[in-house]
Amino acid sequence: MSFTASPVLALTLPLWRSRLLIGLFGLLFAVMVGRAIFLQGMNTDFLQAKGESRYGRTLEITANRGRITDRHGEVLAVSTPVKSLGVISGEAAMTPQQLVSLSALLQMPVRDIERRLADSTTNFTYLRRQVAPDVAEQVASLRIPGLQLKNEFRRYYPGGEVMAHVIGFTGADDMGQEGMELAYQSQLVGKAGSRRVIRDRPGAIVEDVEAIKQAEDGQDLMLSIDAKIQNLAFGQLKAAVEAHRAKAGAVVVLDSNTGEVLALANLPSYNPNNRSRLAGAQLRNRVLTDTFEPGSTMKPFTAAMALELGRVKPDTVIQTSPGKLTIGTATISDSHPHGALTVEGVLQKSSNIGTAKIALGMEPREMWDMLNKSGFGIMPQVPFPGAVAGKVKPPKTWRPIEQVTMSYGYGLSVSLIQLARAYTIFARDGELMPLSFVRGDGELVRGEQVVSAQTARAVRRMLEMAASEGGTAPKARTMGYRVAGKTGTAHKLENGSYAERKYRASFVGFAPVSNPRLVIAVMIDEPSAGKYFGGEVAAPVFSQIMGGALRLLSVVPDAPNKPIIMPPEGEEVQESI
């Protein structure tokens, strides 16, 4: 039988069935064409977005934070490139062996990595910020899908603990947290950019598509700080704190011509490059944030008030015998009787009795005006975060004993930077200088006239006597330069009463007297090695810093350049406290 004669081929199908099949196929084709037109012609944006979400990424281009330098351009803070490690949610997949290797490289428990992956609610989750470049390369070699290395910057501080309280530090997001890093955040921080890229399935970038926005680096900041003077000040302060077994210490150096801060140091300090064991006491910038009763360092202001008002003259004689003075129910005293003293002698010998009698010759409002004009009780106009105003009571509340105690530094509180700034009045012929932490143009800056030049020069002479033989601070003398300044030794106030054996020793002064260039204030908190007077503890620190700083600045000497013979132990005049 031939093939064409097969019964199957001879079978006749109904005509409606073939037409139905053709109609169904035609309808299906029309639906597919319509769907294609809808997806490719009317819903393009949606599909494009879905596609790009699988292979495209918009990455942030991190901006470089501005450098911080000292006044000579020495770098004090700089950003260095680092990598931060994270994962793309839903795409991170790693074998148990990869997980163990990653844990070892990041020094991070496996459980913590798993928890971060499970708890992720964002597209990108950080596992570790600011990873060292060599570690980042080892992590990348694991080739874990969904694992991303992001370019960032980490701040490095070459000055370490020496510059810590001036510069401060930034956090993991490169935002200022303390010091100049926080004060000038808006200037230092840059503006991040962005770029679009195409990546493969493991997450590696295979093509740059476009730069959406260029990153703008932050601006550099040149401080008024002199790194050499800063190192000198910190070293001398540290030696004194250790030698006297003190709780803390602080020092600030000002340029009296410009009001610029050339050095600022505190102890305890910390290393801003490694803050893993940082404690609160280490962070405190005591020069600006701590207030204390300044003790006898306030006596020059009492003398200046009386001189300015014409109540006394430098040679006016004041009787301080018998070394005690009763005011109401309170009695004040000197360390030992001095007898009759001129106003110059009162300051030279640091007599509480003499200072009290000078103060009682003035009205409370007159004293308060002078203190206010000198910057006490007023917030310092500096960009530093945490600076405090101190406290001076309103004059209408003063009792006679309070007026007296404030005249020699009790009953009011000041910060060390306020005290240093106030002494510019005597260094600058009566002008109170504005302060600056940023380098100026080098020109002489004018301050606010607080007292006459004649009054300031008269007090300057008294302060030179106080820092000479026969004064309370012969150890403040500096070879080759005439110095002027005043000691302070005050009991510490604790729980509303004065601690019997806890003191703050201080010294504030300037040099050279013939043409003052620097003002330096030193404070040593709770010296406990036997000595506690400002003339024994703080004055030598002043001397070492002042001598070294003036030579670094090439300031011409105004005194014989010969060794200074210090008085034997115990022979220097002790101030009244």
pLDDT of residue 28: 86
Report CA 178 to chain centroid distance, whole Å.
5
Continuous segment of H or E residues that includes residue 15 = helix 15-37
Q: Is residue 210 part of a domain?
A: yes
CATH of the domain at 354: 3.40.710.10
Is residue 246 located within the same domain as residue 200? no
Is residue 164 located within the same domain as residue 264? no
pLDDT of residue 126: 77
Name the catalytic one among 84, 224, 296, 576.
Answer: 296
361: left (phi over 0), alpha (psi -120 to 50) or beta: alpha
Number of domains in the chain: 2
Residue entry with tokens 């003191």: 503
Is residue 306 located within the same domain as residue 398? yes
Is residue 161 located within the same domain as residue 244? no
DSSP 3-state percent helix, strand, coil across the chain (nearest 5) = 35, 25, 40
Last residue of a domain, one of 222, 241, 258: 222
Provide block-wise average pLDDT over 10 residues at a time, the chain (577 residues).
Answer: 60 72 83 76 64 59 87 94 74 76 80 72 71 78 75 88 94 86 91 64 52 78 97 98 96 96 96 82 90 95 96 95 90 89 95 95 95 94 87 94 94 96 97 95 87 97 94 93 95 83 94 97 94 94 97 93 67 63
Cα distance between residue 238 and residue 479, in whole Å? 22
pLDDT of residue 139: 78
Asked if the peptide bond before residue 14 counts as cis, ω within 30 degrees of 0, the response is no
CATH of the domain at 127: 3.90.1310.10
pLDDT of residue 12: 64
Residue 533 CB contacts under 8 Å (≥ 6 apart), including other chains: 472, 487, 489, 505, 574, 575, 577
Per the CB < 8 A criterion, the answer to whether 127 and 120 are in contact is no
Q: Is residue 8 part of a domain?
A: no
Is residue 265 located within the same domain as residue 301? yes
Q: Is residue 490 part of a domain?
A: yes
Provide the H-helix boundaries in 96-201: 96-106, 110-119, 133-140, 164-167, 179-183, 185-188
pLDDT of residue 50: 61
Q: Is residue 565 part of a domain?
A: no
Q: What residues pair up with 319 in beta bridges, in sequence order?
A: 340
Q: Is residue 284 part of a domain?
A: no
224 counts as catalytic:
no
Q: Is residue 186 part of a domain?
A: yes
Q: Is residue 203 part of a domain?
A: yes
Is residue 216 located within the same domain as residue 242? no
Is residue 400 located within the same domain as residue 348? yes
Q: Are strands 124-131 and 75-88 parallel, antiparallel or unpaired?
A: antiparallel
Q: Is residue 366 part of a domain?
A: yes
Phi, psi of 356 (to 5 degrees): -60, -45
Last residue of a domain, one of 206, 222, 238: 222
Is residue 154 located within the same domain as residue 262? no
Written as six digits, the tokens of 271 are: 């290393």
Domain that holds residue 329: 227-272+289-552
Could you please report the per-residue DSSP string of 499-564?
A: EEEEEEEEEEEEE-TTS--EEEEEEEE---SS---HHHHTHHHHHHHHHHHHHHTTPPP-S--S--
Residue 541 CB contacts under 8 Å (≥ 6 apart), including other chains: 236, 237, 240, 251, 507, 522, 524
Is residue 311 located within the same domain as residue 422? yes
Is residue 164 located within the same domain as residue 298? no
Asked if the peptide bond before residue 516 counts as cis, ω within 30 degrees of 0, the response is no
